[in-house]
Amino acid sequence: MILATKVGDWLDERVKWRQVWDAIFLRKVPKVNWLYTLGSATLFLALNQGITGILLTIYYVPTPDNAYDSVQYITTQVSGGWLIRGLHHWGASAMVVLVLLHMIRVIIYGAYKYPREITWFTGVVLLLVVMGFGFTGYLLPWDQKAFWATTVGTRIAGTPPLIGDWILQIVRGGQELTAVTLARFYGVHVWFLPATLLLVTAIHIYLVIRIGISAVPKREKK
Ligand code: HEM
């Protein structure tokens, strides 16, 4: 018996991991099509964003004096830095596209209906989280485009009557875009949103496995 199987058996006798493995990977699924891979593709990109994002934090410095230079340094000096940054940058856009396509598939197939309402609800939270990642991440390179896009974006957030100014102050950490804004966006981008993504994705996937995937809807024969 190969060593891997022996180790696997040894562990299974103690922690029963094969039950979990079978429930995830050997569960029965209806005959589906390629559109059902959009959720897993989004999951794969989330993993890519997590790994490349962690690697970027090794050199990225979230202060107005250093942010721009540290991003230039990553792109031009760090070996493979251009690739890691490129994967994170394009991965972010691809994730927004895929999460929307996944949602459109769910809408068109009516997969949000009973008993999958909570899966849908967790999906809505995930959509907001993905948009939050995009919004906060855009400021981090601290170049002209980032600065002015966030100036406009936060101003829009501050437009509701009565509470608008209060929202603007919270988002910017003051009246203007400053070091506090950058620190705030960085904190939300690398701590708050990833923690929420991890938790809500776990619930989302748990529900997908527990309830089972929906079948492709068919027209009733008369
Ligand atoms: C980070 C974002 C997301 C990830 C990683 C993700 C992941 C997944 C995966 C792997 C599946 C099973 C395979 C599939 O149906 O494609 C799934 C199913 C599902 N997702 Fe998502 N999802 C995300 C966002 C969303 C959004 C934005 C919605 C809707 C608002 C949503 C609603 C659903 C529903 C209702 C199902 C069950 C579909 C069925 O049973 O046919 N998800 N998701």
For residue 222, pLDDT over 80 is answered with no
Q: In a 10 Å sphere around its CB, with 0-12 CB exposed, 13-18 middle and 19+ buried, how is residue 204 labelled?
A: buried
Give the pocket of ligand 1 (CB within 6 Å): 36, 38-40, 42-43, 46, 99, 102-103, 106, 111-112, 116, 119-120, 123-124, 126-127, 130, 201, 204-205, 208, 213-214
Cβ neighbors of 203 (< 8 A, separation 6 or more) are: 122
Using pLDDT thresholds of 50, 70 and 90, give the confidence band for residue 7.
Answer: very high
CA distance 177 to 207: 41
pLDDT of residue 86: 98
**Residue having the nearest C-alpha atom to atom 25 of ligand 1:** 123
**CA dihedral of 211, 106, 43, 60, whole degrees rounded to 10:** -130
Tens-place pLDDT, residues 88-104: 999 999 999 999 999 99
Of all protein residues, the one whose alpha carbon is nearest to atom 43 of ligand 1 is: 39
- From the list 93, 81, 79, 77, the residue with the least C-alpha distance to 52 is 81
pLDDT in tens, 24-63: 999 999 999 999 999 999 999 999 999 999 999 999 999 9
